[in-house]
Structure 1
């Protein structure tokens, strides 16, 4: 059997046996499409093929380190499956024992002033929202706007990923407990919470408008596009970016920035990092720890702005 012939079998295993999300399977598929070797699958040939493939990636200036690191991670999962299914006898540790260092970059989160422009953190009795409810039923543009606002509010308050948000159905929302059941990465389930009944009321109102506009369907996603179809990640990215532009936020706003913002806000408010890890669905706390650096960075900025030394010198 050729190396390339095993890729569809591996993807089928991920889908049927492991029940991985379509997002993960799509990512694996994209990374493994480069494995087009017609070589017979033997231990020596496979190890040599991996070494050459990774060398080509590392010397390709068009590939970012993060892309190479992800591709190697995919090869490790794929190779372990090859050993498990006895297509090869030994795991190619030498070929895959390469460490790709990533430049240390702090997550981009939104400033408080930017969040105030984007998020409708106002009283539930806001008359503007009541007017908007009526327009939603007839205007496609207003539907997109309302979907963008609710998406921003949910992601900022809970820190969920945009892919997770697209999979939420009305049945996943527990209004009494003010929580949402989430199907996260690796099919790991968790719960996220919103702090008060305001978000709950806005979710109810959005669902009622969807029902009036598109008909009742409990299996439909919580967020839908202007045609009544399940909102995709691309759709949410587009309408959030458009809404941010409308609100005169100069930076390009992405759903992941909202997730970063939620994590940073929670840590700055004093929430234990272990609880933030659980809320965000991180498998390792080292992933969550990056946000402590963001909080420290802002603390450093505030301390520099206060400049205690100057205050003391001026008051001698």
Structure 2
């Protein structure tokens, strides 16, 4: 059921929540859509129970909504996310005097199972960038771009959306740092190494001028028609490169972010420094990568120790 099909008061509350997320919380359009999808699901369930106004929402309504989704086979992680969205929505509605008492205060959802993110071994990263370099040796603009994107993704651990949104002026070639606009419009500065610097410089000198048009603007990376590269294009490029390795289950640009973080910690980097580089608001998120490193240590021990 779309927002337009909901009772007027429910639809109005959902739209107000979306405006709050965008204007006051600085959430991206993508994030707002995800929140509204969850809220829309909740309100559609409420409407099916005869509720026409947010003030009629009760704890039982929320529990039955989550229960129905659990019975449909929804994962624990998704249930936990939707529960958090419901709590955010009702808390906002209370502040806006749309609801008198928050029905989600005692709402509980199963904790998501923590899974270790897939990471590449360092030798796989070497093969990945060597493959990109071999393709770029021919000098085709898109191959030069792809090599620069992969080098920069691994060197900095930036998110794919952050890479797509970068402008040329975000680079500081002298200091080899990159200005990144992350989630919630938070800005951070991230260093990158010489291989990434060389790949980006090659792209800017030989690749980008061949694709640039009068409407390219300041975008760092361009598509085949000269417009700013989008996230879908980046994901497609990285997915093909990872599939070409043939010996990893890692998929997409986020695997390079996971790998960068894990390799930094394996090399002795401070946890808080990695948190700053990745742009995590919570140290607990960064700590997931310490579990990855410990697991890799255990694997190495089991393989190498005669009495493991």
**Range into which the TM-score falls when normalised by the shorter chain:** 0.7 to 0.9
Q: CA offset at residue 146 of structure 1?
A: 3.4
Distance across 2 between alignment mates of 1:303 and 1:101: 31
State the secondary structure of the residue aligned to 2:219: coil
- The residue number in structure 1 matching 2:13 is 6
The alignment yields a C-alpha RMSD, in angstroms, of: 2.5
- The residue number in structure 2 matching 1:207 is 204
Distance change >3 Å, CA 117–CA 216, structure 1 → 2: farther
Distance across 1 between alignment mates of 2:121 and 2:60: 49
Q: CA offset at residue 149 of structure 1?
A: 2.4
Asked if the contact 1:264–1:295 (Cα under 8 Å) also holds between the matched residues in 2, the reply is yes
- The residue number in structure 1 matching 2:3 is none
Q: CA offset at residue 258 of structure 1?
A: 0.8
Asked if the contact 1:170–1:218 (Cα under 8 Å) also holds between the matched residues in 2, the reply is no
State the secondary structure of the residue aligned to 1:149: helix
Q: CA offset at residue 242 of structure 1?
A: 1.6
Distance change >3 Å, CA 94–CA 131, structure 1 → 2: closer
Distance change >3 Å, CA 247–CA 105, structure 1 → 2: closer
Instruction: Spell out, residue by residue over 1:253-273, the C-alpha distance to the aligned partner (whole angstroms, 9 max, x if none).
Output: 221111110011000100111
Asked if the contact 1:47–1:92 (Cα under 8 Å) also holds between the matched residues in 2, the reply is yes
Please tell me whether residue 158 in structure 1 is matched to residue 156 in structure 2.
Answer: yes
- The residue number in structure 2 matching 1:60 is 72
Which residues of structure 1 form unaligned runs of 5+?
A: 137-142, 311-316
Match of 2:81 among 67, 70, 83: 70
Instruction: Spell out, residue by residue over 1:272-305, the C-alpha distance to the aligned partner (whole angstroms, 9 max, x if none).
Output: 1111111111111111111111111111222223
Match of 1:22 among 8, 29, 47: 29
Please tell me whether residue 132 in structure 1 is matched to residue 130 in structure 2.
Answer: no
Distance across 1 between alignment mates of 2:14 and 2:243: 42
The TM-score with structure 2 as length reference comes to 0.86
How many residue pairs get aligned? The number is 295
Distance across 1 between alignment mates of 2:16 and 2:54: 17
- The residue number in structure 2 matching 1:304 is 302
Distance change >3 Å, CA 298–CA 18, structure 1 → 2: closer
The TM-score with structure 1 as length reference comes to 0.84
